[in-house]
């Protein structure tokens, strides 16, 4: 059984059918890419998995637990969380408080400190700015803070939405180096990135979304970038229809 199993998932925004019959598997200790053009439904899918968006039908199973209708807080306690699109840092809180909040479910202050030190080791820049408010961070630092905060929950599966959006190439490179370290800690990753090439080279498995559906899936190494690009933009489908 996979770590995360999604079967026949449907999500609506009112009448708009945003996620259509999506099924997906994430194996433990793998890195999975989820790609697709703007508006394909990636964020909607992630938020549905995390209990932020309501699911109309279908099921989500995480480590054998049915989490389809669970509250986000419960899902997080099972070891699944996300670093959401746009970071969603706690703007009026310090960097340190943002991170400590990640360990909210941990009852021991000592353990929270220990986790904090680990994150500071991974992202030294956050330690330098630990007393500053999150609102004064740069885009790359905000992304690191969101990832660090998510890691403070000690997830088994971490979903990173729009990991590179609006960031300079050097910063993106940095973040991928850090993600590799996250993976070495035994955390399974699902990554959403706009860049197809980067997604394929940095993952074990790739899912391509188009207009609310999964239109292509496969081992990243074996995928043909041109075919993926076609699926990404829906070119294949148009050809078939013509």
Ligand X SMILES: Nc1ncnc2c1ncn2[C@@H]1O[C@H](COP(=O)(O)OP(=O)(O)O)[C@@H](O)[C@H]1O
Q: Which residues bind another protein (CB under 8 A)?
A: 50-52, 71-73, 76-77, 81-82, 84, 88-93, 97, 100-105, 107, 109, 112, 149-150, 152-153
Please tell me the distance from the alpha carbon of residue 145 to that of residue 139, in angstroms, as a whole number: 10
User: Residue 13 binds which one of Mg ion, ligand X, another protein, none, with CB within 5 to 8 A depending on kind?
Assistant: ligand X
User: Do 193 and 217 meet the contact criterion of CB atoms below 8 Å apart?
Assistant: no
User: Do 206 and 200 meet the contact criterion of CB atoms below 8 Å apart?
Assistant: yes
The Cα-based distances of 97 to 83, 90, 116, 155 in angstroms read 16, 9, 10, 19
Query: Which one of the spans 11-19, 55-63, 127-135, 168-176 is the region binding ligand X (CB under 6 A)?
Result: 11-19
Q: Does 84 interact with ligand X (rule: CB under 6 A)?
A: no
Q: Which helix (H) or strand (E) holds 9?
A: strand 4-13
Q: Does 54 interact with ligand X (rule: CB under 6 A)?
A: no
Of 60 and 208, nearer to another protein (C-beta) is: 60
Residue 170, Cβ density class (10 Å: 0-12 exposed, 13-18 middle, ≥19 buried)? exposed
For residue 143, give both structure tokens.
Answer: 């992304």
Convert residues 68-97 into a mask of x (bound to Mg ion by CB under 5 A) and - (unbound).
-----------------x------------
Residue 221, Cβ density class (10 Å: 0-12 exposed, 13-18 middle, ≥19 buried)? exposed
Query: Which one of the spans 42-50, 95-103, 114-122, 149-157 is the region binding ligand X (CB under 6 A)?
Result: 42-50
Q: Does 40 interact with ligand X (rule: CB under 6 A)?
A: yes
Number of residues that bind ligand X (CB under 6 A): 11
**How crowded is residue 139: how many other Cβ atoms within 10 Å of its Cβ?**
14
Of 20 and 96, nearer to ligand X (C-beta) is: 20
Q: Does 41 interact with ligand X (rule: CB under 6 A)?
A: yes
- Residue among 43, 53, 141, 206 that touches Mg ion (CB under 5 A): 43
**How crowded is residue 81: how many other Cβ atoms within 10 Å of its Cβ?**
23
- What is the closest distance, in whole angstroms, from the C-beta atom of residue 115 to Mg ion in the complex? 28
Q: Does 220 interact with ligand X (rule: CB under 6 A)?
A: no
Query: Which one of the spans 13-21, 91-99, 171-179, 214-222 is the region binding ligand X (CB under 6 A)?
Result: 13-21
Please tell me the distance from the alpha carbon of residue 180 to that of residue 55, in angstroms, as a whole number: 32
Of 8 and 39, nearer to ligand X (C-beta) is: 39
For tokens 């080279």, the residue is 201
Please tell me the distance from the alpha carbon of residue 62 to that of residue 48, in angstroms, as a whole number: 13
Residues lying near ligand X in the complex (CB under 6 A) are found at 13, 16, 18, 36, 38-44
């Amino acid at each position: 059984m996979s770590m995360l199993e999604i079967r026949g998932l449907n999500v609506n925004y009112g009448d708009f059918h945003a996620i259509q019959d999506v099924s997906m598997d994430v194996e433990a200790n793998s890195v999975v890419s989820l790609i697709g053009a703007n508006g394909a439904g990636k964020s909607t899918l992630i938020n549905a998995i995390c209990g932020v968006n309501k699911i109309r039908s279908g099921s989500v199973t995480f480590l054998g637990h049915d989490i389809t209708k669970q509250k986000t807080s419960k899902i997080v306690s099972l070891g699944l969380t996300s670093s959401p699109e746009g970071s969603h840092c706690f703007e009026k809180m310090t960097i340190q408080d943002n991170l400590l909040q990640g360990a909210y479910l941990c009852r021991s202050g000592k353990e929270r400190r220990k986790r904090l030190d680990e994150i500071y080791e991974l992202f030294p820049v956050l330690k330098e700015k630990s007393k500053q408010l999150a609102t004064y961070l740069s885009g790359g630092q905000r992304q690191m803070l969101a990832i660090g905060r998510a890691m403070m929950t000690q997830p088994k599966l971490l979903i990173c939405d729009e990991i590179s959006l609006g960031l300079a190439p050097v910063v993106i490179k940095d973040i991928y180096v850090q993600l590799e370290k996250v993976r070495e800690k035994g955390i399974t990753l699902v990554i959403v990135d706009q860049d197809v090439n980067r997604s394929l080279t940095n993952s074990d498995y790739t899912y391509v979304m188009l207009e609310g559906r999964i239109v292509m899936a496969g081992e990243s190494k074996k995928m043909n970038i041109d075919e993926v690009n076609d699926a990404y933009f829906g070119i294949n489908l148009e050809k078939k229809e013509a």
